[in-house]
Structure 1
Amino acid sequence: MKVILAGAAKTGTKTMAAAFTVLGFNTYDYLENYFYLHKEWLKIFDGSATNEDIRRMFDGVDSLTDAPTCIYWEELQEAFPEAKIILTTRDEDSWYKSLINQFETGNASFLAWIICVISPQSILRLSYSCHVLGRFFGDHAGWPSFKLRPFHEKVQRALFRQHNYNVLKKAPMDKLLVYNVSEGWEPLCEFLGVEIPDKPFPHKNKGGTFIDELVKTSPVVHQMLFQGAMSATLMTLCVGYAGYRLYKTSSGQRWGTWILQNAQKAVERVRDFQKS
């Protein structure tokens, strides 16, 4: 493990994940942790994971970003004492505005809701999602709503300040970089001891567009969409077959005939009303 990003969500975590990828690091952001390692993370959540468990979890991973990394950065740093720590910072007012915008964008996204509702992986990971959101970001309505409900503004701001203070107080100073993504490549690459790439510094999730970006580029989201489509297809086939079997019975035929007759009567009444 080369670097642990301890900065809170909405301080440029998606940008940092993209920057680490450009630098050639194998990066686990929120989705990778959520999709591939949720069971292992549950052990970290309840305090039963050993340092050996954590090192085994992230074998071959170079960098960690976003939640739940930022919440459990101390446990991760204890397991990887050689890793460097970056605290990404941001003006508190713009951070809070961006956080609320992200919640609203996510709650309004029909595609995100569909993924959560029909993907078996999302349903199986409910305890993971609720824990992560509840620790820092607010509340999670659960299946089938999946709406995010942030804390009161004063609580949200206080948690943000406390998080930053905790990192500054507890992280080893010789391994810590306090960094704003607006600073670009130079301080980041100097801290990590790598060459500055011949590419522009990335800027991801600008304006809370990360859902659209993930749908286009994320292999994890593509897997969830595929699994969700398969689940929806199987459900449709099962319902259709059950309906067919019911219709083949005498009671099912009577029930189907009754529906058709009443539907015809309803159509006739509408027509009569339109003529009058």
Structure 2
Amino acid sequence: MDGSKVFCIGFHKTGTTSLANALTVLGYRVTGPNGVRDPKIEQNVQTMAIDLAEKFDAFQDNPWPILYREMDLRFPGSKFILTLRDSESWIKSQIKHFGEKETPMRRWIYGVGCPVGNETTYIERFERHNREVLEHFKDRPEDFMTLDLSNGDGWEELCRFLGKDVPDVEFPHANKAADRERKQSSWLRMFRRLRLPKAG
């Protein structure tokens, strides 16, 4: 690594895991999410973040999107990546994966614990975050990029931004429903092939 850090500052369920996997392929030491269940996350997050930032090269998922201003000041020359996703598909994914489960982290970020019943609050926070990030990094293309994996972005855009060679592997897409369905179908076909014929 050249010493610069990479902060993935898109909200969770925007392709953060896929981006983390891609950065790992490129040789970065990646961490996140961090402190999700810390009941005092708001008080502890700065100390935790600085400690982790000394040990890793790249940072994804919570709490990193909330800390982009602080990280930009503390680590000049770092790279910041905002992963994007359509608001409606994003909130559907939030509800599907988190439902009525609450965490201190989500309570801190959104002001409410779970997405179910709080869809408007979640979407407003999500969209406000994206607007503020775009405003903060405007006219800084050397430090900032947006990445929309749902729209076909992948290795080419990421590696151009980071100054890396494109690896000879498929871009890792994590947590995609289509991927899960393909895996389930594969296991079902394997089961059918291995199933013993009926007696008689």
Fold-level similarity (TM above 0.5) = yes
Aligned-partner residue type, residue 7 of structure 1: G
Partner of 1:83: 78
- Normalising by structure 1, we get a TM-score of 0.55
Q: Counterparts of 1:192-203 in structure 2 under 5 Å?
A: 192-203=162-173
- Normalising by structure 2, we get a TM-score of 0.74
| Contact 1:13-1:66 at 8 Å conserved across structures | yes
Partner of 2:118: 152
Using a 3 Å threshold, how does the CA distance of structure 1 residues 62 and 184 change in structure 2: closer, same or farther? Answer: same
Aligned residues: 172
Partner of 2:22: 19
Using a 3 Å threshold, how does the CA distance of structure 1 residues 74 and 204 change in structure 2: closer, same or farther? Answer: same
> 2-side partners of 1:136 and 1:151: how far apart?
16
Using a 3 Å threshold, how does the CA distance of structure 1 residues 39 and 101 change in structure 2: closer, same or farther? Answer: closer
Using a 3 Å threshold, how does the CA distance of structure 1 residues 82 and 90 change in structure 2: closer, same or farther? Answer: same
Cα deviations across residues 42-101 of structure 1 (Å, max 9, x unaligned)?
A: 6554x6x5xxx8554322311000011111121122211111111111111111111111
Q: Counterparts of 1:1-276 in structure 2 under 5 Å?
A: 1-30=4-33, 33-34=34-35, 43=43, 45=45, 49=47, 55-104=50-99, 129-130=103-104, 132-137=105-110, 139-140=112-113, 148=114, 150=116, 152-171=118-137, 173-174=140-141, 175-181=143-149, 182-207=152-177
SS at match of 2:80: strand
Q: Work out the percentage of aligned pairs sharing the same amino acid.
A: 32
SS at match of 1:95: helix
Deviation at residue 149 of structure 1 after TM alignment: 5.1
Cα RMSD for the two superposed structures: 3.0
Cα deviations across residues 200-228 of structure 1 (Å, max 9, x unaligned)?
A: 00011123999xxxxxxxxxxxxxxxxxx
Deviation at residue 155 of structure 1 after TM alignment: 1.5
Q: Going by fraction, where is helix more abundant, 1 or 2?
A: 1
| Contact 1:3-1:63 at 8 Å conserved across structures | yes
Gaps of at least 5 residues in structure 1 are 108-125, 141-147, 211-276
Larger radius of gyration, structure 1 or 2?
1
